Every structure is written in C-alpha cells, then in structure tokens.
C-alpha cells in the first residue's frame, strides 16, 4: 500500500489534514486504531477559536458548524460571589469563539473523507513508524487481522499522547517539557439547558468550577477534584450541590439541575515535545503537546499544527522547496508555547492548589481583580482565549 502522506490517527488533526491535502490534490491514507463509533462519540473539547472556525469553513467543513454551533462573544469570570463578563469582540477587534463539540467536528470530517477523500481505515492499529529519517518512510500496521505496510513520502503522527509516532524519534534528538497538576476535572454531561448563555469560569475557595454547554439543551460542567478521584464515588446530588456552591453569586442567578448522562475525571498536565519533526515524520496535536483544558486550547492547537503542515506540504510538492517543511516545528512551537503559557496562567489563577497559602490565594484574587478593572489585562485574556495567529 502506498500514498504520498500517511496519517496516523483520525481525530480532528488527522481528519482535517487529510481534508486540506485532498482539497490541494494531494493523496493520503488515514489509519485509525479505533472504530468509527468510538471516534464519533468520544467526548473532548468543545470550544473552537476564531482561527479554527475560519480553517474549517475554508476546508468546506463548516456548514453544519455554522448551522448548529453556538457563537460566543465572551466568557464570565466569577470570584468572591461577583460576576465579570469579558467581551471578546470589543477587546480583540471582532473575534469570537464557537461552541461546537469535537465529536461533531469529527463526524463532519469523517463524512467528507468517506465521500470525497482518500482511504480512511478504522480499526487499523499503527504498530511502528519505520525509516523516518529516510526518503521512504513507512507505517507498519495491523488491519483486518493481518499486518501490512503503508509506504509514504511523509508520515504525520496525529495519534495522541500514547501513540507510536513520537516513539520513532530518537530520545537523544528530543527535549521534553512537562508539568503534572495535583488535581483533575470531574466532568459531567447533563440533559438540561445551560444555566447561562456563555461559559462561566469560577474561582472558589472550595475549588474551581466551569459551566459550559454542548447545545441549547445539553450542559457540560466541571469541578476541580483531587487527581486520583474516581468519578463514580460522586453521586449526582453531590455533584450538583458542589457546583451550586462554587458557582454561587450575590444576585438571583440559579443553577438548573437535570439528569446526568455521563461523568468522568480528566487529568491535568502540560507537555511539550521538541522538535515536532524528525526526518519525514511530523507530529501534530496531542502527539506533540498537551495543555490543561482550562484555556480551551488542545483542539485548536492541533488545527494550527495541521493548517501549517498542509501549507508546507503543498509548497514542497508544488515547488520542490523544503523551506516551509524545515520551518514547521519552529513555527508551530512558537504558537504552542504561547498556548501553554496562557493555559498555565488560567489554571493557576482559577484552581486552588493543595496546601496553598493565604498569600497565594490573595494573589489569585489580585490577578482576577486586575482583569476586571484593567482593560489591557482583560484584552490580553480575550486575545489568548479567542486564539493566537495560526502562522
């Protein structure tokens, strides 16, 4: 089996890259270890930056997003029972974000790939990337009970943190930067209309809480919990009670409750692998970097990676120049580190760290007060949240 670009992983990064290459007339094959139902149902991110929205529209994958997605022009910060709204368009020259779940992005891209694109093989487990530093790299994979080899001109690893792609880069050629946080997010999906029309980020002495949504009738909410928490030890009533405490305000706002349909705990960590390229192997998305979800950056960073890489591959195959491919890692990492910084700042500002001192807690409140009273600080948050430039 042979193709120009072999893509490992059918998450949003791999699927979008395949779509961008297809639109440019470049063939690819996508290998995904899970089945289609799993890919279309796994709950992940739900906030699309302005740049991500623009890329999906330009790729021809934005029709349903524009019809069903929820444009948001701001977020609300809560601290000390107070509420402060951050107005994105007023602070960023008109940018906003879109609430549209990663599951829906994947559904749209899968449908397009199966209808118009190259091969998309589900339940095709990548076993190894071979010859990454040669001019004939290959992916050894298992599909339909037998092993096969996908020969490529280029291999792109979009297979997440635990995938095989990153392992093909020699340890002596790489540097890894990481931080583990001593808390996680207990997340729920609930069949109840959101209690606010925009996302609410709450800093509370009991811990962080986030009010989000997936649709006008489905709420997505999160609670800061210890990192080793088992979600099943929290009853539905306990979850709603704790959300109510942490989201409380001094006005008449109320939290609407409803049936919880899903609960799980998400670990919190920051991770960056440098470089994002080795020979003809390129890393994109979670294979190269992880951010805590507080800043809503994970999916958007993946889109930035593959938009940059698609442009570089098209340039190489049309002109013969390696200039943009050679610059891929450095260009992406500039954006990645800004997103890491933003996500770290949001996380440390809003979460109560175990053993935090009274001094540290007062600093958190001072940072929030600064955003609420200083337009420059507020604009910095708005610019980071709506997205750093893709290139």
CA-to-CA distance for 261 and 165, rounded, in angstroms?
Answer: 34
In sequence order, which residues have a C-beta less than 8 Å from that of residue 251 and are 6 or more positions away?
83
3-class SS shares of the chain: helix, strand, coil, % to 5 = 40, 30, 30
Catalytic residue among 100, 201, 222, 328: 201
Query: Where would I find the beta strands (DSSP E) of the chain?
Result: 5-8, 28-31, 47-48, 70-72, 74-79, 82-87, 97-99, 120-121, 124-130, 138-143, 146-151, 154-157, 175-190, 199-203, 209-215, 218-226, 260-274, 277-278, 281-283, 289-290
Asked about 181 being catalytic, the answer comes back as no
Asked about 177 being catalytic, the answer comes back as no
Asked about 267 being catalytic, the answer comes back as no
- Tell me if residue 325 falls in helix, strand or coil: helix
CA-to-CA distance for 260 and 240, rounded, in angstroms?
Answer: 10
Asked about 385 being catalytic, the answer comes back as yes
Asked about 238 being catalytic, the answer comes back as no
In sequence order, which residues have a C-beta less than 8 Å from that of residue 90 and are 6 or more positions away?
none
Joined together, the tokens standing for residue 260 give 């919880």
Catalytic residue among 297, 311, 328, 351: 297
Catalytic residue among 12, 137, 194, 293: 293
The neighbour count for residue 296, using CB atoms within 10 Å, is: 26
Catalytic residue among 72, 196, 278, 351: 72
DSSP designation for 257: P
Residue 198's Cα: distance from chain center in Å? 19
Catalytic residue among 154, 222, 328, 385: 385
Please report where in the chains the tokens 């524009």 appear, as a residue: 66
Residues assigned a catalytic role: 72, 201, 293, 297, 385
């Amino acid at each position: 089996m042979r193709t120009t670009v072999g893509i490992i992983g059918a998450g949003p990064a791999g699927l979008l890259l395949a779509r961008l290459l297809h639109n440019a007339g470049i063939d690819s094959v996508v290998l995904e270890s899970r089945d289609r139902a799993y890919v279309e149902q796994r709950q992940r991110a739900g906030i699309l930056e302005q740049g991500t929205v623009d890329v999906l529209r330009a790729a021809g994958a934005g029709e349903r997003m524009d019809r069903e997605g929820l444009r948001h022009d701001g977020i609300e910060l809560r601290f000390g029972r107070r509420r402060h709204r951050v107005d994105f368009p007023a602070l960023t020259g008109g940018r906003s974000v879109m609430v549209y779940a990663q599951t829906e992005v994947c559904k749209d891209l899968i449908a397009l790939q199966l209808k118009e694109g190259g091969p998309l093989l589900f339940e095709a487990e990548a076993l190894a990337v071979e010859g990454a530093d040669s001019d004939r790299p290959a992916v050894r994979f298992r599909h339909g009970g037998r092993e096969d080899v996908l020969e490529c001109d280029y291999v792109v690893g979009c297979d997440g943190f635990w995938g095989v792609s990153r392992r093909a880069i020699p340890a002596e050629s790489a540097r890894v930067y990481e931080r583990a946080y001593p808390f996680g997010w207990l997340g729920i999906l609930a069949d109840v209309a959101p209690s606010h029309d925009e996302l609410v980020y709450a800093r509370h002495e009991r811990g962080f809480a986030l009010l989000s949504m997936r649709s006008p009738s489905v709420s997505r909410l999160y609670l800061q919990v210890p990192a080793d928490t088992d979600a099943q030890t929290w009853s539905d009533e306990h979850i709603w009670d704790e959300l109510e405490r942490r989201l409380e305000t001094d006005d008449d706002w109320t939290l609407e409750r409803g049936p919880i349909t899903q609960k799980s705990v998400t670990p919190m960590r920051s991770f960056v692998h440098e470089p994002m390229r080795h020979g003809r192997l390129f890393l994109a998305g979670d294979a190269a970097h992880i951010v805590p979800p507080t800043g809503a950056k994970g999916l958007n960073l993946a889109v930035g990676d593959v938009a940059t890489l698609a442009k570089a591959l098209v340039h190489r195959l049309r002109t013969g120049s390696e200039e943009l491919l050679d610059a891929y890692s450095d260009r992406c990492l500039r954006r990645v580190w800004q997103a890491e910084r933003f996500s770290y700042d949001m996380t440390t500002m809003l979460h109560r760290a175990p053993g935090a001192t009274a001094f540290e807690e007062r600093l958190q409140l001072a940072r929030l007060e600064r955003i609420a009273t200083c337009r420059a600080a507020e604009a910095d948050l708005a610019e980071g949240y709506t997205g750093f430039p893709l290139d």
